[in-house]
Amino acid sequence: MIRNSALRILTFALIFIALLVPAKAGASSKRALEFRQIRQLRHTTWHWQSVMGVSKTPAHHHLLKTSNVKYRRWVLRLWQKRAAHTRLKVRRVPHKAQWLCIHRGEGAWNAHTGNGYYGGLQMDISFQRSYGGYLLRNKGTADNWSSYEQMWVAEHAYRSGQGFYPWPNTARACDLI
């Protein structure tokens, strides 16, 4: 009788543990997914902030180690909002219409014609190094950059006092100089 009771308790305990383990594993994988999403959103936000030349949004790395579900989800929503706000700012590149006009006279965004100029705004290496060093180090030459990355680098040159003069012929054709 005692042996039977002990066997029942042991069986119940094993069933309980077997049911509990998958629930914990599911929670663990959900937690890992949320951490990956936070890291990806943070990385993307910081990339575009670097491209635009603005300060990176501060973050506390220890927050990724929290086990508090509500707080972790709040951090995830916070980075989703920050990333969405940054994407809006990226698309609102100053002088966008002017850069697109210059682009129409220069070539495809992925142009690498072998003449020493790269991308849709035909930037040479020294120009890329001066105004887009971050992208040059991380993505290579301008023919590997997105159109917005190229326009932001051109905008950095514009703001530094270069204006539209690095593109004298197309800027003149677009009535910019």
Q: Which two tokens stand for residue 8?
A: 């029942």
Looking at residue 62, its pLDDT comes to: 66
Residue 134 has a CB neighbour count (10 Å cut-off) of: 14
Question: Could you tell me the fold of the domain covering 96-173?
Answer: Lysozyme (1.10.530)
Residues 60-81 as b or e (16 or more Cβ within 10 Å = b): eeeeeeeeeeeebeebbeebee
pLDDT tens for the chain, residues 1 to 177: 556 665 566 565 556 565 555 545 556 788 889 989 999 999 999 999 999 999 999 887 766 667 788 988 999 999 999 999 999 999 999 999 999 999 999 989 999 988 999 999 999 999 999 999 999 999 999 999 999 999 999 999 999 999 999 999 999 999 998
Query: pTM of the entire structure?
Result: 0.78
Q: Which helix (H) or strand (E) holds 4?
A: helix 2-52
User: What pLDDT, on a 0 to 100 scale, did the predictor assign at position 174?
Assistant: 95
**Rounded distance between C-alpha atoms, residue 5 and residue 7, angstroms:** 5
The domain limits of the chain are 96-173
